[in-house]
Chains A and B, each alone.
Chain A
Amino acid sequence: MSERYAARKVAKSQSPAKQGRPGATRTRLARWSKYVLLSAAVLAAVTPVYWMVTISLKSEVDQFASPPRWFAFTPTLAHYYDAFFTRSFAKYLTTSLTVAGLSTICAVTLGTLAAYGLARFKLRGKLDQRLSLWILSTRMFPPIVTAVPLFLMMRDLRLLNTITSLVIVYTALNLPFVVWMMRGFFRELPRELEEAAMVDGDSRLGALVRVILPLVTPGLAATAVFCLIVSWNEFLLALVLTQTDASMTLPVGIAGRVTQYEIKWGVMSAAGVVAMIPILAFAMAVQRYLVRGLSL
């Protein structure tokens, strides 16, 4: 609606006299080409999801039918049953939820505090700036180089095959991101806000919690969604650190369906569809903050 309104406004400004035919045609053309482009973008985004959902509902014989059966097939829930009742995907889902949830909470809490410190205080010898860069530098190397050291550390700590190990690692993985995102948000807020609160007798932490944090909620929401997505989809470190049914996360469980001779597309898609739901739900819940957070 708003786009159409905008387009009309443009049309008006371009051709003040309504009879200006060439201008109107050009505008209509522009509008249509915009719709075509937008439709193509929507199609490109939705088709893979549609394909995954339908594969999860098709029997094997329909999955590989040529020409592909887009709509005309008999749906079956066999793959969902196989994944969540015969196999341990329900357990993997719980593990993933716990790990992603806990690590997001840890990363956002610790990262926000650090970001606030780095945004508001100066340390001697520009240490605050150097610290920020140092924190970011931990994201500059590919995660694979940390895989073996992490494995050895977790083995010595006897934390292999535990949810704790994944929460620690994912928190560490997400911290630099949270610190940099939140530092940016804090810097944009005038310091007078918390000074006013402190003049009124609030502590520094109180001012942060009661005055500053509510103002950066959109930023927090956007950061949390990113952390959640990273922890939710992380595969490499989860594969290295966990191997038992009790500690495996969804991405590792799904990858296990690529077997030596055969790829179990049905089960993988069923698990993939279910794996989308929590992230979708969370993203929808914080959607109204999200757009603001991303454009802050």
Chain B
Amino acid sequence: MKIVEHGERSDSKTPMKSNRRYANTMLMLVAVASLCAVLPFTGCKSAGPGAKQLSLAVNSGVEGDALKQAARDYESLTGVRVNIAEFPYDNLFEKEQIDLTAATGAYDLIMLDDPWFPRFASEQLLTDLAPLFQKQGQTGPDEDFIRASIALCKHPYETGATFALPYVGNSQLFFYRKDLFEKYNLKEPATWDDVLTAAKTIDEHERTGSPGGGRVYGYVMRAARGNSAVADFMPIFWSFGGEMFGEDHLRRFPQPAVNRKEAIDALKFMIELGKYAPNGYASFNASEVSAHLLQGTAAMSINWPAWISAFSDPEKSRVAGKMNFAVMPGARTEGRAEIGNWLIAIPRACRNADAAFDFLLWATAADQMKKSALAGNPPTRRSVFTDSELLAKFPSYPAQLRSLERSRPRPRTPQWNEIENVFGIFISRANSGELTAEDAMNQANAEIAKIVERNSR
């Protein structure tokens, strides 16, 4: 192609010599660039099947940090190289979903939050661990694991085959200010009515009682749309006798039951409790709730064990040493916390299942789990919960163990992410006063039914 300068006539018969040189230079550059692009194809080849290495997808945060440390120890112990890919919590699910569905085999082991498990397991994306246990001469996970945690790793829930092992044993706890409870002669709340009475009392008497001289709110909760509102509502919902699905809950596509009387009563109770919570709690997430608790401006809340250690550190809390941690209060039924365990599973497309399983067993064994616990992760083994060194360091362990043993999982449906999102919107709107409890639950029920219907097609 003839290249002509702007401003020149294109039929010019004497193109400048340097024009051609410029074109040549550009051609050369293009050639070099193409060569660069081709080089990687001809370069390295992947390590062969004999190469001992594993790849692991972990969550950014204290849970992932502990597993990373375990991987490094395993590396120096066995010589097996463990490559770690780390993702923020919000991105981990989609990353694993893409990888598992495309069966790329990029990861030999994945860390997963337990609500994701039904989705992965029902789509047959995980390796059944039974044959691997057999190869090791074992029948299954040992009895030391907490039953509630192991139940999460089975598909169907509690009864099916094991597809994962539990690594971090979070379950919600009830946080309350023991100094204020003592001051007003209040007992550790056993029921939600006790909570409401205590919230009223503290709210009335502590208008200037916070360390900053401001008001101490009786209760604080997360009611922002999505996971936040649902997580803080579920313990109340369950204790009032509410259930996400009706009698057909064991069917693959059950009908929702969140507009029954028990469920509406539970939401009404939550809104009543909200009268003693800081303004704007209907948009609160974990940060706002924890800020209120740590600053001493709220007396009670539901929270996760990750926050316990902050309440013994004066650098982090203005009410250090004044917080107690208890099991969930009840109402019409026994109080039960929501469980939130981190599991480790082997994707179905994994090519080194034996090596991966070896690491899995090693990382979830009692001595490794103790190391993870020392770093701040609640364990999933009874023997670690009752370890004397850990008990001395974490005085709340007995309460955590009781809470975990009595905990309940979020409904085990593959559509949970979608359902939680919708349910959370209506709970939040009811708390902000936009909808009545009845309207919110009726609308939520209709929307959840649509999700189930859509997925059953």
Interface residues of A (CB under 8 A from B): 59-61, 64-67, 76, 78, 110, 113, 117, 119-124, 148, 155, 157-159, 161, 191, 198, 203-205, 239, 243-245, 248, 252, 255-263
CB neighbors of A among B209-264 (8 A): 212, 214
A204 cross-chain contacts in B, Cβ below 8 A: 16, 18-19, 21-22
Say which residue of A64, A239, A256 sits within 8 Å of B291 (CB atoms).
A64
Q: Which residue of A lies closest to B36 (CB)?
A: A168
Residue in B4, B21, B44, B60 whose beta carbon sits within 8 Å of that of A203 in the complex: B21
User: What 0/1 pattern do residues 258 to 292 of B give for CB contact below 8 A with A?
Assistant: 00000000000000000000000000001100110
Contact: A113 with B26, CB < 8 Å? yes
Give how many A-B residue pairs fall within 8 Å (CB-CB). 131
Q: Nearest residue in A to B106 (C-beta to C-beta)? A: A155
A-B residue pairs in contact (CB < 8 Å), sample of 29: A60-B294, A61-B314, A61-B317, A66-B214, A113-B26, A121-B3, A121-B5, A122-B4, A157-B40, A158-B43, A158-B46, A161-B85, A191-B6, A203-B18, A203-B21, A204-B21, A239-B88, A244-B84, A244-B85, A252-B88, A256-B60, A258-B60, A259-B60, A259-B61, A260-B113, A260-B306, A262-B286, A262-B287, A262-B306
Please tell me if the beta carbons of B113 and A261 are within 8 angstroms of each other in the complex. no
Q: How close is B381's CB to chain A, nearest CB, in angstroms?
A: 21
- Nearest CB of A to B344, in Å: 16
Closest B residue by C-beta to A157: B40
Q: Residue B392 at the A interface, CB < 8 A?
A: no
Indicate if the CB atoms of B317 and A243 lie closer than 8 Å: no
Partner of A124, one of B2, B88, B318: B2
Given contacts A157-B40, A261-B286, contact A123 B61 (CB under 8 A): no
Check A198–B29 contact: CB distance below 8 A: no
Q: What residues of chain A lie closer than 8 Å to B7, measured between beta carbons?
A: 191
Q: Which chain A positions have C-beta within 8 A of B90? A: 258
In the bound complex, residues from chain B placing their C-beta under 8 Å from that of A256 are 60-61, 86-88
Contact B316 A60 (CB under 8 A): yes
Q: A60-B316, A65-B295 are in contact. Are A121 and B6 (CB under 8 A)?
A: yes
Q: Which residues of B contact A110 (CB under 8 A)?
A: 29
Residues of A close to B8: CB separation below 8 A: 122
Residue of B nearest to A78 (CB): B315
Question: Chain B nearest CB: distance from A207 CB in Å?
Answer: 8
Asked if B184 is at the interface (CB within 8 A of a chain A CB), the reply is no
* CB pair B295 A257 closer than 8 Å: no
Does B304 lie at the interface of the complex (its beta carbon under 8 Å from any beta carbon of A)?
yes
Give chain A residues whose Cβ lies under 8 Å from the Cβ of B316.
Answer: 59-61
Task: Select the residue from B6, B44, B294, B306 with max chain A CB neighbours within 10 A.
Answer: B6
Q: Do residues A205 and B25 form an inter-chain contact, with CB atoms below 8 A?
A: yes
Q: How far is the CB of A179 from chain B (nearest CB, A)?
A: 14
Give A202 Cβ to nearest chain B Cβ, in Å: 9
- As a 0/1 sequence over residues 188 to 226 of chain B, the CB contacts with chain A under 8 angstroms (1 = contact) are 000000000000000000000000101000000000000
Which parts of B77-134 form the interface with A (CB within 8 Å)?
Answer: 83-91, 98, 104, 106, 113
In the complex the two chains form, is A259's CB within 8 Å of B62's CB? Answer: yes
Complex alpha-carbon distance, A66 and B91, angstroms? 32
Chain B's closest residue to A60 (CB) is B316
Q: Which residues of chain A are within 8 angstroms of B85 by Cβ–Cβ distance?
A: 161, 243-244
Which residue on chain A has the smallest CB distance to residue B317?
Answer: A61
Asked if A262 contacts B290 (CB within 8 A), the reply is yes
Q: Give the CA-CA distance A161 to B86 in the complex, in Å.
A: 11
A205 CB contacts on chain B under 8 angstroms: 21-22, 25
Chain A residues closer than 8 Å to B5, beta-carbon distance:
120-122, 191
Complex contacts, B62 vs chain A, CB 8 Å: 259
Report the bound CA distance from A124 to B1 in whole Å. Answer: 8
If A66-B295, A122-B6 touch, whether A60 touches B310 (CB-CB below 8 Å) is yes
**B88, A258: Cβ atoms closer than 8 Å:** yes
CA separation between A287 and B257, bound complex, in Å?
A: 64
CB-nearest residue of chain A to B315: A59
Q: Is B297 an interface residue (CB 8 A)?
A: yes
Cα–Cα, bound, A205→B46 (Å): 42
| B6–A255 touching, CB < 8 Å | no
Contact status B212-A65, CB under 8 Å: yes
Asked whether A64 and B306 contact (CB < 8 A) given A113-B29, A122-B10, the answer is no
Whole-angstrom CA separation of A204 from B60 in the bound complex = 53
How many angstroms from the CA of A14 to the CA of B332 in the assembled complex?
82
Given contacts A157-B40, A191-B5, is CB(A255)–CB(B88) below 8 Å? yes
Give A260 to B21 CA distance when docked, in angstroms: 59
7 smallest CB-CB distances across A and B, nearest first, come from A259-B61, A256-B60, A243-B85, A204-B18, A64-B291, A261-B306, A60-B316
Assembled-state Cα–Cα distance A245/B3 (Å)? 48
CA separation between A239 and B95, bound complex, in Å? 10
Instruction: Enumerate chain B residues within 8 angstroms of A161, measured Cβ to Cβ.
Output: 85
Q: Mark B11-30, 1 if CB is under 8 A from A, else 0.
A: 00000101101100110010
A214 to B88, CA, bound (A): 45
A110, A113, A259: most-surrounded residue (chain B CB, <10 A): A259
CA of A205 to CA of B41, assembled, Å = 33
Q: In the complex the two chains form, what is the Cα distance from A66 to B84 in whole Å? A: 40
B19 smallest CB distance to A (angstroms): 7
Cβ of B297 and Cβ of A66 under 8 Å apart? Answer: yes
Q: Are A198 and B317 in contact (CB under 8 A)?
A: no
**A113 CB contacts on chain B under 8 angstroms:** 26, 29
CB-defined contacts of B61 to chain A, threshold 8 Å:
256, 259-261
- Tell me, rounded to whole Å, the shortest Cβ–Cβ distance linking A272 to chain B: 16
Query: Quick check: B6 and A198 within 8 Å, CB to CB?
Result: no
**In whole angstroms, how far apart are the Cα atoms of A252 and B43 in the complex?**
29
Kindly state whether residue B59 has any CB partner on chain A within 8 Å.
yes
B26 close to A117 (CB less than 8 A): yes
Across the interface, which residues of A come within 8 angstroms of B43, CB to CB? 158
What A residues does B212 contact at CB under 8 A? Answer: 65-67
CB-CB < 8 A to B40: which residues of A?
Answer: 157-159
Q: In angstroms, how far is the closest chain A Cβ from the Cβ of B75?
A: 14
Contacts of A67 in B (CB 8 A): 212
